[in-house]
């Protein structure tokens, strides 16, 4: 499948994943869910799982699979939605999100048999693990790539930059990171908490950097990912993608109150109505 053929397929998957996120979050009841940071990165996760990565849900631990790490583990709804749409587990399982004895917890836990490579959630830690996985691939002369999604607020963590320095030093060109630049973090807007010039910083740390102006546009995201995948720069790669927090649900968009919250029946019905209307109206490419 070439890129032009892949785009509508990924758009359909992204639309289905948004709907899945709402279903899972609502099923968690009063436990709530991190809707905002999950919805912002849907197109990135969909592009990876359905357009870029080499993986097989029938053989989840195949040796040459590409590895995926969601370092911003609180956005796990997006990850779980990709796994259910790819067929790693049955659809009914997603309704166990945050329930007792479910492997779909509030942050990913390690279950390779279901496509969950790494336990993550302590910010910065997942990215460091991804760097280690890429280093292991180099040492063992393996051909797979490692993909990692970070939050922009997560980039306040010192651990991110220690790992970034190590990756550049070791020329981990099999590592592709994506910063979900939705401009919000738990306590407010990122530029008010720690105003970082991420493009300049990543470049200064020796990374191959690409900016994406609309990280919720599948074509833009897919183009950037494929360019980084095929790059011969000899450096680790990072895509800084400007996204919209809570993308796709009007009352969640750019609304910090929906960083993490329970979803009432009224809110659930409104979200479902909006998302279904977008699909019917041919706007699922968002």
Q: What is the pLDDT of residues 232-247, one digit of tens each?
A: 999 999 999 999 999 9
Return the axis-axis angle of helices 125-139 and 158-169, rounded to nearest 10°: 10
What is the pLDDT at residue 286?
45
Report the Cα–Cα distance between both ends of the chain, in Å, rounded.
22
What is the pLDDT at residue 281?
57
What is the pLDDT at residue 280?
66
pLDDT tens digits, 202-212: 999 999 999 99
For the entire predicted model, the pTM comes to: 0.96
Taking the domains of the chain in order of start, what are their residue ranges?
3-280
Residues 6+ apart with CB under 8 A from 116: 79, 83, 103, 108, 109, 110
What are the distances in angstroms from CA 12 to CA 9, 18, 240?
5, 10, 23
- Kind of pairing, strands 184-185 and 188-189? antiparallel
Could you give the CA distance from residue 251 to residue 46 in angstroms, rounded to a whole number? Answer: 23
What is the pLDDT at residue 119?
97
Residues 153, 140: contact at Cβ < 8 Å? no
CB neighbour class for 256 (10 Å; exposed up to 12, middle 13-18, buried from 19): middle
| CATH fold for the domain made of 3-280 | Rossmann fold (3.40.50)
Give the residues of the chain that fall short of pLDDT 70. Answer: 280-286
Could you give the CA distance from residue 230 to residue 173 in angstroms, rounded to a whole number? Answer: 10
Residues 205, 31: contact at Cβ < 8 Å? no
What is the pLDDT at residue 228?
98
DSSP state of 261: B
Helices (H) and strands (E) in the chain, counts: 10, 7
* E strand or H helix at 79: helix 76-86
Could you give the CA distance from residue 58 to residue 79 in angstroms, rounded to a whole number? Answer: 17
């Amino acid at each position: 499948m070439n890129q032009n053929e892949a785009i509508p397929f990924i758009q359909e998957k992204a639309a289905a994943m948004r709907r899945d996120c709402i279903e899972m979050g609502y099923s968690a009841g009063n436990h709530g869910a991190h809707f905002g940071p999950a919805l912002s990165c849907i197109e990135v996760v969909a592009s990876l799982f359905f357009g870029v990565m080499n993986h097989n849900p029938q053989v989840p631990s195949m040796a040459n699979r590409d590895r995926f790490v969601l370092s911003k583990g609180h956005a796990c709804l997006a990850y779980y939605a990709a796994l259910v749409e790819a067929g790693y587990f049955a659809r009914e399982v997603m309704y166990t999100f945050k329930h007792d004895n479910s492997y779909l917890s509030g942050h990913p836990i390690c279950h390779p048999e279901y496509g969950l490579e790494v336990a993550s959630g302590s910010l910065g830690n997942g990215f460091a693990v991804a760097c280690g996985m890429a280093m292991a691939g180099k040492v063992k002369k393996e051909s797979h790539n490692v993909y990692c999604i970070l939050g922009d607020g997560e980039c306040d963590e010192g651990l991110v930059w220690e790992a970034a320095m190590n990756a550049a030093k070791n020329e981990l060109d099999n590592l592709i990171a994506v910063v979900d630049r939705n401009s919000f973090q738990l306590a407010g807007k990122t530029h008010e908490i720690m105003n970082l010039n991420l493009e300049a910083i990543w470049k200064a740390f020796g990374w191959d950097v690409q900016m994406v102006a609309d990280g919720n546009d599948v074509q833009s995201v897919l183009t950037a990912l494929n360019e980084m995948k095929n790059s011969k720069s000899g450096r680790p790669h990072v895509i800084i993608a400007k996204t919209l927090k809570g993308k796709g649900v009007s009352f969640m968009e750019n609304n910090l109150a929906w960083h993490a919250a329970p979803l009432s029946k009224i809110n659930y019905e409104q979200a479902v109505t909006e998302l279904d209307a977008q699909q019917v109206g041919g706007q699922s490419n968002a």
